[in-house]
């Protein structure tokens, strides 16, 4: 018996990711893969970001979840085009799922595609979706030790959003430890400190995203 190795699966994923990348490029769409633990605040951040970006840019969203459509409903309520992927058990999105979901979006009408991955700090890191940018959301309530425990996902990201800064005074989270960890894992990564519920730090992040998106499409 032969074994289908993880390498084969990742090779197939890379082919689909490259197709996605080509489609995004042809349509002039900048694509972001938003990662983080369950409950780190990805959807709330996305809602806050969309309030800043929708207008200057034409955004679309893909929501990844094991089951349910609560997140897609929240995005739809903002009037932003959204497709929900239910992975039916899989703990991460892969490029093939995104390829299928993209067929339900009008890419030509979009400038920016935000993909909210399944809440997971492990397997999501291994699957390129064809994005130009990876952003990790790390909430203050999770603890700063996540960089030590889940190094791969931080190593592959271009920005870390420290979310739920409103909860900081009630936790022992030390933002300096995030900066220390990133110096080793991803020295070029941008760091943002955000409280989405208080609308703090969101405008700065939105400006950075918009600048990256417009630099890409120039």
Interface contacts to a second copy, rule CB under 8 A: 1-4, 37-40, 65-68, 70-71, 89-91, 118-123, 139, 141-143, 145-146, 148-152, 164, 166-167, 170-171
What is the closest distance, in whole angstroms, from the C-beta atom of residue 157 to a second copy in the complex?
Answer: 15
Q: Quick check: helix, strand or coil at residue 18?
A: helix
What 39-44 contacts at long range (C-beta under 8 Å, 24+ apart), as own/partner pairs, is 39/119, 39/139, 40/119, 40/137, 40/138, 40/139, 40/142, 40/163, 41/137, 41/139, 41/163, 41/164, 41/196, 42/116, 42/117, 42/119, 42/137, 43/71, 43/74, 43/75, 43/116, 44/163, 44/196, 44/197
Pick the closer one to a second copy by CB: 134 or 164: 164
Pick between residue 41 and residue 130 the one whose CB is nearest to a second copy.
Answer: 41
- Region class of 202: left (phi > 0), else alpha (psi between -120 and 50), else beta: alpha
Minimum CB separation of residue 198 from a second copy in Å reads 11
Collapsing DSSP states into helix, strand and coil, what is residue 69?
coil
Residue closer to a second copy, measured from CB, 107 or 168: 168
Which of 28/68 has CB closer to a second copy? 68
**Shortest Å distance, C-beta 59 to a second copy:** 22
Least distance between a second copy and beta carbon 90 (Å): 8
DSSP lists the bridge partners of residue 60 as 113
Please, what is the minimum distance in Å from the beta carbon of residue 89 to a second copy? 7
Cβ proximity to a second copy, 166 vs 204, nearer residue = 166
Whether 162 and 193 have beta carbons less than 8 Å apart is answered as: yes
């Amino acid at each position: 018996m032969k074994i289908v190795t993880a390498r084969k699966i990742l090779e197939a994923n890379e082919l689909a990711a490259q197709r996605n990348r080509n489609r995004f490029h042809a349509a002039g769409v900048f694509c972001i893969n938003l990662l983080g633990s369950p409950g780190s605040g990805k959807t709330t951040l996305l809602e806050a970001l969309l309030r800043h970006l929708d207008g200057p840019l034409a955004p679309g969203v893909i929501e990844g979840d094991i089951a349910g459509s609560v997140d897609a409903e929240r995005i739809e309520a903002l009037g932003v085009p959204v497709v929900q992927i239910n992975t039916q058990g899989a703990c991460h999105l892969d490029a093939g799922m995104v390829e299928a979901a993209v067929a339900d979006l009008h890419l030509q009408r979009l400038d920016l595609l935000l993909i909210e991955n399944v809440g997971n700090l492990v397997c999501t890191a291994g699957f390129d979706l064809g994005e130009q940018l990876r952003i990790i959301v790390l909430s203050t309530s999770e603890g700063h030790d996540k960089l030590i425990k889940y190094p791969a996902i931080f190593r592959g990201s271009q920005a870390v959003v420290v979310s739920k800064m409103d909860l900081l005074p009630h936790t022992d989270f030390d933002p300096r430890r995030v900066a220390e960890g990133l110096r080793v894992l991803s020295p070029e990564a941008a760091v943002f400190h955000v409280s989405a519920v208080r609308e703090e730090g969101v405008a700065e992040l939105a400006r950075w995203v918009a600048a990256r998106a417009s630099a890409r499409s120039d």
